[in-house]
Amino acid sequence: MACAALLLTCSIGGPSNLGTILAMGYMYRALKASRPVRRSSFEPLARPDWVTFKATHLSTSATFKRYLRVSEEIFDHLAGGIRPSAEGQARAERAGHNSAGRLAGKEGRGGYVKTELRLAMTLRYLAGASYLDLCIIFGVGKCTFYNIVWDTITRLDAFLPALSLEDDMEDVHRCRQLAAGFEEKTRGREQQRSYVRGCIGALDGLSMKIEAPHSVDNPLKYYCRKLFYAVSVQAVCDANRRFTYMSMRCPGSVHDSTAWNDFARCRDGATRISEALGSSAVLRTGCTSSAPWGFFIVADDAYRCCPTVVSPWSSAPPPNSPRVAPQPAKCRPVPLPQPPRRAATRTPSTTS
């Protein structure tokens, strides 16, 4: 528009401005040719069908379990539990068809993502896969992928049973079932006796890696001895490796024993789980048949041994032991992350 107005202004001046008019015409043509070409909209790859994808890439049970970390039976059980109702799925399909726009008419592009594909994306992402690869494999965009992951996790959290250690320690029949599982796992070759009797859970800690927190007063307390930011996760599982308790209230720099004894809480958020275990009459008394010395939880030597948590003796040799030659103390320095340096400001010098 500006060039056209300039051409009109120059044409009023008469034939003397013919050269200017031609120059302006060439400049207008050059500006029009240099305008950026409109980019075509992004079209994701074709979305696979779950039956075809499973038959092509996950044909064997070993490959299926290695890719998704669960067996086919557990996968079908989880998919059936998080699948929406027929009315809800129809409504979601209509919404996905409307939001897909022009891609909805193309086979395998846009529209609603089936439950099996949603669960497969979520499980594979939790197993460590990159969202970039999963978006290409399953034919979804970045925003759609993360919406699917969070929605699937919410549905799984509502479907899976709650952690049951707080209820198990007050039920003697449930404690007997948990102890029987550990007895079966630790039975000797002769199948006559079990090496662990009365155990209802195995306790251990995990440093869950996180990004550097910015909304806390002291971010360095989350920097653990493994040289990354983390939160301390305390978890208990049964003989079949099913979790019965989990707590992640502590930053990564806190020792496992402190995180378990001082910070791990029950569902009410006020009672410490260590106190609840110690005050349980079922755990203290046990039963004469399976646990004559009471029920307990096993842990490694990072935890303090007590009547309800049985941990082995420390592997460190006693001080001044005659069988061990004295050695210099060994320690591994842990470098802390350096805070960002501020640009130095130079003070102008005054001249007399």
Q: What DSSP assignment string belongs to 180-211? A: HHHHHHTB-TTSS-BS--SEEEEEEEEEEE-P
Residue 345 inside a domain? The answer is no
Given a contact cutoff of 8 angstroms between Cβ atoms, the answer to whether 173 and 273 are in contact is no
Q: Which whole number is the average pLDDT over 287-298?
A: 72
Same domain, 170 and 295: yes
Residue 300 inside a domain? The answer is yes
Question: What's the pLDDT tens digit per position in 74-104?
Answer: 999 999 999 988 787 778 777 766 655 555 5
Q: Which whole number is the average pLDDT over 277-298?
A: 76
Prediction pTM value: 0.65
Q: Is 50 exceeded by the pLDDT of residue 182?
A: yes
Q: Which domain holds residue 277?
A: 165-310
Residue 15 inside a domain? The answer is yes
Band (pLDDT 50/70/90 cuts) for residue 291 is low
pLDDT at 352: 44
346 versus 191: the higher-pLDDT residue is 191
291 versus 226: the higher-pLDDT residue is 226
Same domain, 182 and 275: yes
Q: Count structural domains, the chain.
A: 3
Same domain, 137 and 264: no
Q: Is 90 exceeded by the pLDDT of residue 155?
A: yes
Residue 242: C-alpha distances to residues 23, 168, 181, 265 (Å): 80, 13, 12, 19
Band (pLDDT 50/70/90 cuts) for residue 326 is very low
Handedness of CA 57, 61, 65, 70 (dihedral sign): positive
The amino acid that residue 209 corresponds to is K
Q: Is 80 exceeded by the pLDDT of residue 43?
A: no
Same domain, 110 and 233: no
Q: Is 60 exceeded by the pLDDT of residue 15?
A: no
Same domain, 81 and 132: yes
The amino acid that residue 279 corresponds to is S
Q: Which whole number is the average pLDDT over 275-286?
A: 82
Same domain, 223 and 152: no
Residue 319 inside a domain? The answer is no
Same domain, 282 and 228: yes
Same domain, 246 and 290: yes
Given a contact cutoff of 8 angstroms between Cβ atoms, the answer to whether 265 and 249 are in contact is yes
Q: Which residues pair with 237 in a beta bridge?
A: 202, 243
Residue 348 inside a domain? The answer is no
Residue 322: C-alpha distances to residues 224, 316, 318 (Å): 35, 14, 10
End of a domain among 159, 174, 199? Answer: 159
Q: Is 80 exceeded by the pLDDT of residue 323?
A: no
Compute how many other C-beta atoms are within 10 angstroms of the C-beta atom of residue 327: 7
Q: Is 80 exceeded by the pLDDT of residue 13?
A: no
**Which residues have C-beta within 8 Å of that of residue 205, sequence separation ≥ 6?**
232, 233, 234, 235, 256, 259, 260, 302
Given a contact cutoff of 8 angstroms between Cβ atoms, the answer to whether 209 and 227 are in contact is no
Same domain, 210 and 293: yes
Residue 321 inside a domain? The answer is no
End of a domain among 142, 159, 176? Answer: 159
**In percent, how much of the chain has pLDDT > 90?**
32
Q: Is 80 exceeded by the pLDDT of residue 17?
A: no
Residue 41 inside a domain? The answer is no
Same domain, 150 and 61: yes
Same domain, 132 and 222: no
Same domain, 148 and 192: no
Residue 296 inside a domain? The answer is yes
End-to-end CA distance of the chain: 60
